[in-house]
Amino acid sequence: MPERIIFPEFRNELEFTRYPFADAATLLSSNTRQELEKDIFLDASLYPIGGSVQLFISSIVVTARRVTIWLSDRLTNNIASSTFDPLDPPENLEFTDAYGRPAGILVSDALRLSRFAAWEIAEHVFAVQATEFVASCVIPTPGVGVRGLVSPAGEILTGNVWLVGDNGVVLRAENDCTIRVDIVGDPLFVRKLCQQADLFVTPRPLLTINGCPPDANGDYKLVVGDHLSPETVLRINPTDDGLQIEAVGELVRTS
């Protein structure tokens, strides 16, 4: 056991203050006059992508089995949200933005969050003066660069995404910040357009000759005797139609 604890901190040590909200926050909704109890949230760490200054709870939508808390700032409305069941609440509230990316967490507990079950079923709107978070709870996250991809089906892709080139598309990572896309085309596209799909046969390249595989470069060398000898009579030359095999030398004349 340690002899003493240095700088002890407890998650509920500030429950009798307005933290994580500003000291001047009224915690009162502007349309229903519903009060957000000052000890319902114990701490916060919020980092919505693209957020600006003065992040606050803009509205709390209460239904029979669902509570949705929306965050906004001075420039963007409903920048992130968190939804939970007040009859089966979690310990903490995890926020995500419109694209499903993590946007922060509000620290609480199940007993405190269950109080929302007693709220009137309505949308409770809050002004920035009522529920602004203190600066220490907000981590600025600029909305720069590519942070996600949208598939043709409308699916949002975030996190680790694999990009695979196919059908004549070549992808190259030139450096840490640049992905190069080269479209070289499909050499058989004319055949695909002019023929029916069931008539198209995938080309099958030559793999072996009598069970003999090619060399490391995928080549076959057809030679007679020592292929380094310049006196070799047999010649094998590639042509547009295939291979031409011939013998060189003078004709033998008979009398």
pLDDT string in tens for the chain (255-residue length): 556 666 566 666 777 889 999 999 999 999 999 999 999 999 999 999 888 889 999 999 999 899 999 999 988 899 999 999 999 999 999 999 988 889 999 999 999 999 999 999 999 999 999 999 999 999 988 877 677 778 888 887 777 778 887 777 888 888 877 888 888 766 666 666 666 665 556 667 778 888 888 888 778 776 655 555 566 667 777 888 777 877 776 665 665
Contact 14, 119 (CB under 8 A): no
- Residue 226 is predicted with a pLDDT of 58
Coil, helix or strand for 179? strand
- Residue 101 is predicted with a pLDDT of 85
- Residue 201 is predicted with a pLDDT of 62
Contact 149, 161 (CB under 8 A): yes
- Residue 184 is predicted with a pLDDT of 74
Angle CA(213)–CA(217)–CA(221) in degrees, nearest 5? 60
- Residue 6 is predicted with a pLDDT of 65
How far, in Å, CA of 37 to CA of 21, rounded? 11
pTM of the full structure: 0.60
Q: What is the CA radius of gyration of the chain?
A: 36
- 93-to-79, 109, 114, 124 alpha-carbon distances in Å: 15, 9, 12, 18
Contact 242, 253 (CB under 8 A): no
